[in-house]
Amino acid sequence: MKLFITSNQQFGREGAIQQYSRKFKDAKQMDEHMIKQWNSVVSDEDLVYVVGNFAWDPERAEYAIKRLNGTIIIMNGKWDRASKDLVSKLGSELGIAYNEEAIKYLNDINVVLSYWPLSDWPHREEGSISVIGIPKAQFNTNHEIKRVNVAVDYWDFKPVDIKKVIQLFSDPDLKS
């Protein structure tokens, strides 16, 4: 089993195409591409944390979830009402969970997950890595402060293997 991290798919949201300069003709084309990219790296045995903004539209969220590989845990982001509603209705049937926590510390790998950028985070002094999902350029990956942004727009619309995230900070010359 591998662990992947991702954010900001915004399945079903037409406005995401313009807002994030995505090169798709409509949300359906965008969704299909993101599903294909996701499944190209994630297997059914893998675990994926989505650190916010998974889906905009409940119907498209359900459509996507049914086609995506892996066990999915969706964390609270800025626009996650559709995701939360879907999980409350069909979560156990679809094998997905919704995590209300704004911050999740994965102590076995010393990584902190949050949609929101953090100025400080648990175990920062011990070298923990901050993984965020907000899709804003001022919060790009930053080696100095050990922060990585996993918004799909920065990773070819694919979830990121946590081993690659950790490697980013052991090899500062490696680019995302």
Judged against a pLDDT cut of 70, whether residue 172 lies above it is answered with no
To which H or E segment does residue 149 belong? strand 147-149
Judged against a pLDDT cut of 70, whether residue 174 lies above it is answered with no
154 close to 141: Cβ distance less than 8 angstroms = yes
pLDDT for the residue 176:
45
Average pLDDT over residues 96-118: 90
Q: What percent of the chain has pLDDT over 70?
A: 97
Alpha-carbon span 166 to 171, nearest angstrom: 9
pLDDT for the residue 161:
98
Judged against a pLDDT cut of 90, whether residue 5 lies above it is answered with yes
Average pLDDT over residues 114-134: 93
pTM over 0.85: yes
**Residues 14-49 pLDDT 10s:** 999 999 999 999 999 999 999 999 999 999 999 999
Residue with tokens 């964390």: 75
Report how far apart, in Å, the C-alpha atoms of 75 and of each of 16, 25, 52, 113, 154 are: 19, 28, 5, 9, 19
| 3-6/47-50 β-pairing | parallel
What structural domains does the chain harbor? 3-170 (3.60.21.10)
